[in-house]
Amino acid sequence: MAAALTGNALMIFIIKRRPDTRSITGFLFINMAVADLLVTLFVMPVSVAWLYIGGKWLTGILGHITCTLVYFTFYVTLAASILSLSLMSVDRYLAVIFPLRRFPRFRRPKVLAAVVWLSAMVFSVPIAVIWRLVEYKPLGVFICDPQFDQLGTFGMKGYYIYLVLLMYLIPLFLISSLYVVVGRALWRRNVPGVMSTETEKRNKKTKLIVVRMLAIITAAFAVCWLPAQCYHLILAFRPDIHKSSPPYVMFLCFWSGHANSAVNPWLYIMLNDKFRKSLWRVFSRARSDTKCTSAEGNLVSRLIADPIRETNV
């Protein structure tokens, strides 16, 4: 939680502060950072609370609202992160395959933001339908639990297959396919006559660095969320394994996915040279301002202590 809060807040701050980091990719990373912050603020505390309260939930209207809202927010943020990654791959594909075209309609930040978050909400509608506050009467305990009968014939298997396909396998297949095409295009591209060799090499190197960074971040997403998606399949097809497994197995699988919210910003910081330089400039300026303030404070202290000698000097 500390790593996720620090990294995502820092990334948003730098991209908003430094004009040289503002691009479509940077804007989409802000979308991811906002989504990861929501995971940190809503989902991680609930997950930790399970260790102490065993799934018990608030009662009354507040319990009903928070039960649906927390899990809906969780999957909306996950879908927003996936859609942002997918749009990054589409943006890199268009930039490399069609380098002379601008695609102004696609590259509108406000339009992309609306597409990402509205699509994420639409994808997460089944989550809002099934998560309900349920009272276990023998114990008088209220628990937030999925009610799969709300989905009719779709049921539990359909629900978990929906999550695995729509929020994991299909986006990863799309992203991987586009990056393979982009990588092959960059590798095979000839030097155009209107550009010098050095200019072409520099442009190709820049695009390769960006594609490598996005591919690594996509791979981190795939690795972090793989255990949780495998556990979804276990819940769908072998619930007996879930019932016989120790509780910490489920926690570790889903915490691995939550860790992706902390990994994303720090990967971006380490892999993006422009971002690192901007970050260094901000810290250097803050350090120099601190030194100036400290020097002014020392001078004032000396003047107060011995005004005549300091004035003469």
* pLDDT at residue 101 greater than cutoff 90: no
**pLDDT per position as a tens digit, 218-276:** 888 899 999 999 999 999 898 889 888 888 888 899 899 899 889 988 888 888 777 77
Q: Considering only CA atoms, which of 209, 211, 225, 267 is closest in space to residue 7? A: 267
Degrees, nearest 5: CA angle 6-12-16: 145
Q: What is the DSSP string of 232-278?
A: HHHHHH-HHHHHHS-HHHHHHHHHHHHHHHHHHHHHHHHH-HHHHHH
CA distances (Å), origin 276, targets 21, 27, 158, 287: 10, 17, 44, 16
* pLDDT at residue 66 greater than cutoff 80: yes
Domain edges within the chain: 2-283
For the chain, the average pLDDT equals 80
Confidence class for position 120, pLDDT limits 50, 70, 90? very high
Query: Between 308 and 23, whose confidence is greater?
Result: 23
**pLDDT per position as a tens digit, 132-168:** 888 887 777 888 888 888 887 788 899 999 999 998 9
Q: 0.75 exceeded by the pTM?
A: yes
CA distances (Å), origin 193, targets 70, 75, 125, 182, 210: 56, 49, 52, 21, 24
Task: Taking residues 29-43, report their average pLDDT.
Answer: 87
CATH number of 2-283: 1.20.1070.10
Q: At 269, which amino acid appears? A: I
DSSP-derived secondary structure letter, 134:
E
Confidence class for position 95, pLDDT limits 50, 70, 90? confident
**pLDDT per position as a tens digit, 177-212:** 888 888 788 777 654 444 456 666 676 677 777 778
Q: Considering only CA atoms, which of 226, 131, 75, 76 is closest in space to residue 234? A: 226
